Chain A
């Protein structure tokens, strides 16, 4: 299994509070991704990174920011959490950006915003 960990695995927070989710990899893969998974919507890309300090927006980036200061860590921050951001968040990594390249997923973080 690809070495990907996410922390925390579960979090309950209140509306308006900042939240940071961490993704850590031991595979030295260049590309890292953050997705959210919601019933009826499947997985949707929030942000991705193609190198240290190189990031870009995904399909549903509003209300989220990311940072990557080291190859192995990719942080997702909700500056002011809202109830609509209650979701399961998955981090993924890949060696290449080529279409068809395999993405390896972490175990997910379940976030509840009250």
Chain B
């Protein structure tokens, strides 16, 4: 059973479209991170959200942490081919020294 469920698993869209991907859990976390991974490389941190209801913007990317700190969303406006990659959410366990990643959303933006 995955601690973090991400949806959709795969997403293929045309350049210029908007999209939202989700990261859900039944557990509460003190913070949540989003990473992007390009093929053949390791993940790179995009953002950390720490407060319930928090919204952070990174250019065309908007990240939101759920009010109850159990879920998060990533919205991309006017997607570009450079946004193509695997988007991963990640948390540290509240009960132990473990880090958990979601299974990821693989995004392809078609020119």
Q: Which of A13-70 contact B (CB under 8 A)?
A: 33, 35, 40-45, 48, 56, 58-59
With contacts A100-B50, A102-B48, A108-B41 known, is A59 near B97, CB below 8 A? no
| Nearest CB in chain B to that of A58: its residue | B98
Q: Indicate if the CB atoms of A43 and B50 lie closer than 8 Å.
A: no
A70-108 to B contact mask, C-beta < 8 Å, 1/0: 000000000000000000001010000101101111111
Q: Is the CB of B101 within 8 A of A99?
A: no
Neighbouring A residues of B98 by C-beta, 8 Å: 45, 58-59
- Count A-B pairs with CB separation below 8 Å: 61
Interface size of B as a range: 20 to 34
The DSSP consensus for interface residues of chain B is loop
CB distance from A67 to the nearest CB of B (A): 18
* Size class of the contact patch on chain A: 20 to 34
For the complex, what is the distance from the CA of A104 to the CA of B45, rounded to whole Å?
8
Considering the chains assembled together, what is the distance between the CA atoms of A106 and B40 in angstroms? Answer: 10
Inter-subunit contact A42/B104 (CB<8 Å): yes
B88 touches A42 (CB 8 A): yes
Contact of B103 among A41, A56, A106, A107 (CB under 8 A): A41
Task: Find out whether the CB atom of A108 lies under 8 angstroms from the CB atom of B42.
Answer: yes
Interface residues of B (CB under 8 A from A): 2, 4, 29-31, 33, 40-45, 48, 50, 88, 90-92, 97-104
Could you list some 18 contacts between A and B, CB below 8 A? A40-B103, A41-B103, A42-B4, A42-B102, A42-B103, A43-B88, A45-B100, A56-B97, A58-B98, A58-B99, A92-B42, A97-B97, A99-B30, A103-B43, A103-B99, A104-B45, A105-B41, A108-B41
